[in-house]
Amino acid sequence: MKELSLHLLDIVQNSITAGATRIEIGITNSVSQDLVEISVKDNGCGMSEEFVRRVTDPFTTTRTTRKVGLGIPLFKLAAETAGGEFKIASEVGKGTLVYASFQRSNIDRPPLGDLKGTLITLIQGAPKINIVYTYVTDRGQFILDTEEIREIMDGVAINEPEVLNWIGEFIRENEAELAAK
């Protein structure tokens, strides 16, 4: 079973490939609602309705000339296997929203994995993209916005090791603060 942070990395990678300059990542981790949610919203090139249908179910469509990718179908399968739902909304020229939910207590719900490491990897690899990361639990939420950080840093590159360390600490502290007791 693949960790959710690795699915997240795949989905965000798609957004980067789609030319997004802003990516909003949302994580819900709620014990009281027995719910884990992951959403990725980008302002990349988007997809047509027909194309969305094809990428969501590559196994059920007739063979096309295109190489069939697995990032989206595997994420969908993971959600549906763990009592959740999967949705994509996309518009050509506007962007894409990918959403997956999971029944938190489901035996087939993959662990969240290393969200902090995933975020750091993304910021390091794509320092020019604005990433807005929101993490919500029953105890509250925190938001990391790389555009805000870039402003505070006043010229220091966001992918400098010291800055990445600081961002990592910020995520770690907030996740710990918001963890279920």
Ligand X SMILES: Nc1ncnc2c1ncn2[C@@H]1O[C@H](COP(=O)(O)OP(=O)(O)OP(=O)(O)O)[C@@H](O)[C@H]1O
Residues that bind Mg ion (CB under 5 A): 14, 69, 71
Measured CA to CA, the distance from residue 144 to residue 174 in angstroms comes to 10
Within positions 66 to 105, which residues make up the interface with ligand X, using CB under 6 A? 69-73, 96
Helix (H) or strand (E) holding 121: helix 115-125
Compute the Cα dihedral for 135, 141, 145, 146 and give only its sign. Answer: negative
Measured CA to CA, the distance from residue 147 to residue 26 in angstroms comes to 16
Q: Which stretch binds ligand X (CB under 6 A): 38-46, 141-149, 159-167, 169-177?
A: 38-46
Applying CB under 6 A, the site for ligand X has a residue count of: 16
Q: Per rule CB under 6 A, is residue 18 in the interface with ligand X?
A: yes
Residue 142's beta-bridge partner residues? Answer: 135
Of these, 7, 9, 39, 46, which contacts ligand X (CB under 6 A)? 46
Q: Between residues 71 and 127, which has the closer beta carbon with respect to ligand X?
A: 71
Residue whose C-alpha is closest to residue 10's, from 29, 22, 25 = 25
Measured CA to CA, the distance from residue 35 to residue 102 in angstroms comes to 6
Within positions 52 to 71, which residues make up the interface with ligand X, using CB under 6 A? 55, 69-71
Residue whose C-alpha is closest to residue 3's, from 102, 89, 87, 98 = 102
Closest-by-Cβ residue to ligand X is 69
Q: Between residues 37 and 149, which has the closer beta carbon with respect to ligand X?
A: 37
Which does residue 24 bind out of Mg ion, ligand X, none, counting CB within 5 to 8 angstroms by kind? none
Contacts to ligand X by CB under 6 A: 10, 14-15, 18, 42, 44-47, 55, 69-73, 96
